[in-house]
Structure 1
Amino acid sequence: MFTGSQWEGSHAPVWPFTLDYVPSVDYCQHGPCPKKQYPGMWEIPVQRWYGLDGHSCAMPDGCSATGDAEETLEYLKSNFRRYYNSNRAPFGIFVHARWFSTEHTLDGLDRFLDYLLTLDDVYIVTPSQVVEWMKKPTPLSGINGFEPWSCQGGANDVWLEAKK
């Protein structure tokens, strides 16, 4: 589901949610949208991004092109700050493969990941790990023991079991 304000700063980012209830247009802005409940089904919404020129887009590769790795880094950081400095909803980076066809975007993303690694309260996780944390919120003081985020927990068990 695609969501988010058309204008930067109008609304806080949307947290993932279940379809226990039919979502309002605030959560599903472009159809087809669910018209009935799907209890227990989780939705991680695709949220608008905002280019350095202020225009919104559906995905990072849809905003105006950046000229170099430094602009790409600033673009990623400015969108991340919307989440980090407001309600701290998970910040998903969902891109089409074409975004990597320009070398400076990959370089900018690499620098952005290096930046995130400097933050003690930010974790790089998969969408399924986000849902597992939402099912069992764990404070930072106990996050090192959170099984779904460990190398032995979560989806890795399924893969290891299937490999045997």
Structure 2
Amino acid sequence: MKKVIALMMGSVAMFTAQAANATTYSPTGAWSFSGTVDVNKGIALTCTLDLDATTTSSTATATPALSGGAFGLCGTIGFTGAPYNVSYNSSTSTLTIEDVYVNTITSGDCAGDISGTWDEVNNTITIDAVLPAVSGGGDCTIAGTISLTSPGDVSIT
């Protein structure tokens, strides 16, 4: 009987800890970010990253798109499987777009997470991510800062 009570108490403690760490997005609905990022997979490009997110009070998904760059090459880089789930670690202010698949313009696409630091005051995400190559070629890198363009102010806690 003592083991059953101990197991139940442990389950309650784990559930309470998980509930306390739940992410809250406010306001709910459509959010848009845009900014300049440097991307590289054998070719270094400076691109515009537009990130459209959809939030509920406790979840978010994101759809990234690249444009610009030399000869418009950034627009030929595609993202397969969007929208992607987004997670947030409040203890490190790390926002992560999960399980991203990138169709690159050089051989060997890339897949992995795109993480960045969320700045609550300025509503920006500073990205510095490496996505491993799927087959052939080197890894993909993406670095830069994107800023909220709408709505006017948001909160992630």
- By the TM > 0.5 criterion, same fold? no
Q: Normalising to structure 1: TM-score of the pair?
A: 0.22
Greater RCO structure (CA 8 Å; 6+ sep): 2
Q: Normalising to structure 2: TM-score of the pair?
A: 0.23
Q: Comparing both structures, which one devotes a greater share of its residues to strand?
A: 2
Q: Please tell me whether Structure 1 or Structure 2 has the larger radius of gyration of its CA atoms.
A: 2
